[in-house]
Amino acid sequence: MINTKRTGQWLQIVVPREWDGLTVNQLFRETWQAPKKLTHQFRTENKILCEGNRVNWNLPLTLGTTLQLHLFEEEAPQFQPFYQELSVLFEDEHVLIVNKPPFINTHPNDPINENNTLINAATFYLLTKGESANVRQIHRLDRDTSGAILFAKHALAGAILDKMLEQRKIKRTYIAAVHGLLKQKKGTLNMPIGRDRHHAVRRRVSQSGQAAITHFQVIHENKQKKISYLKCWLETGRTHQIRVHLSHFGHPLVGDTLYGGEPIINRQALHAAKLEFFHPFTQEFIEIHAPFTDLPEISKMIDISKM
């Protein structure tokens, strides 16, 4: 684990063994893979010090020396603050993980006229704590899907986490209840997904679509009701990916009427149950479990903490 400490608007980092001999330029471009524009901003605005002095971006770092990064400056919020109770699963100076309830959008489709979304609520939450309110969403969940969502609190954390998500270094595990009993108890659905030309919202499996890979494993069955409970994890993050794949596979989500599910519950039975990644600054392994806030008929059968 990397030794870090916040001091006011600065983050102090003690150079670990794995950074010994790297330059700050390499740290930004290779280790963190930060965007060029953001890297240029840190360089030109002198936002990095070494032992209290302006750093030379091209000199090797030495084990045990202290870097200071200016990360926590005040920013105007990009989204209107909106009060809603948040279930915070994990939080530090860099990231915020929230257990999203169903029936709320992750972000506004119209930022001016829509403010009752999860990112608006996260903005309000941070403002009440006296923190910068320019929260950054790393991934999203459909309106009726519940579970863990990851936000970044500042630009560098957002950039690193975006790259980690792109490189599949953030693992998201879902619980899904589907119609039917699966003959194949474990497998991978590797089918490209594109828009449905005949429906504004629907997606479909399409050879001309974007690559999409979903892994699944049956973890429980209700043979009487012919419902299977699956653990699913993604290698890609296409819109409606799990819903489209499982419907095409012949086992639509319970409650997902858009993709052939029966409305025996009031939403699609999909929950983002677990989030795993290595912290972008401390390298601590973060493993977060998100409990169900509804659907007791599922939560009583599935112990999320053992996933």
Q: Report pLDDT for 65.
A: 97
Mean pLDDT confidence for 29-33? 97
pLDDT digits (tens, 9 = 90+) for 235-247: 998 999 999 999 9
Q: Report pLDDT for 56.
A: 96
Q: At 298, is the pLDDT very low, low, confident or very high (cuts 50, 70, 90)?
A: confident
Q: Please, where in the chain does CATH 3.10.290.10 lie?
A: 4-70
306, pLDDT greater than 90: no
CATH code at 4-70: 3.10.290.10
Q: Report pLDDT for 3.
A: 96
Percent of the chain, pLDDT > 70? 100
Mean pLDDT confidence for 1-29? 96
Task: Pick the more confident residue, 90 or 113.
Answer: 90
Mean pLDDT computed over every residue of the chain: 95
Q: How far is CA 226 from CA 132, 177, 232, 274, 287, in A?
A: 49, 10, 19, 25, 32
Q: Report pLDDT for 307.
A: 80
Q: How far is CA 105 from CA 55, 76, 117, 128, 149, in A?
A: 43, 22, 5, 21, 12
CA distance 143 to 256: 12
pLDDT digits (tens, 9 = 90+) for 49-104: 999 999 999 999 999 999 999 999 988 899 999 999 999 999 999 999 999 999 99
Instruction: Let me know: does 114 contact 106? Beta carbons within 8 Å.
Output: no
133, pLDDT greater than 80: no
Mean pLDDT confidence for 43-47? 96
Q: At 284, is the pLDDT very low, low, confident or very high (cuts 50, 70, 90)?
A: very high
Q: Report pLDDT for 25.
A: 97
Instruction: Let me know: does 259 contact 202? Beta carbons within 8 Å.
Output: yes
Instruction: Let me know: does 38 contact 47? Beta carbons within 8 Å.
Output: no
Q: Report pLDDT for 304.
A: 86
CATH code at 172-271: 3.30.2350.10
Mean pLDDT confidence for 256-263? 97
* DSSP tag of 61: P
CB atoms within 10 A of CB 301: 14
* DSSP tag of 235: S
Q: Please, where in the chain does CATH 3.30.2350.10 lie?
A: 172-271
E strand spans, 112-212: 136-137, 146-152, 171-179, 186-190, 193-195, 203-205
218, pLDDT greater than 80: yes
Catalytic residues: 142
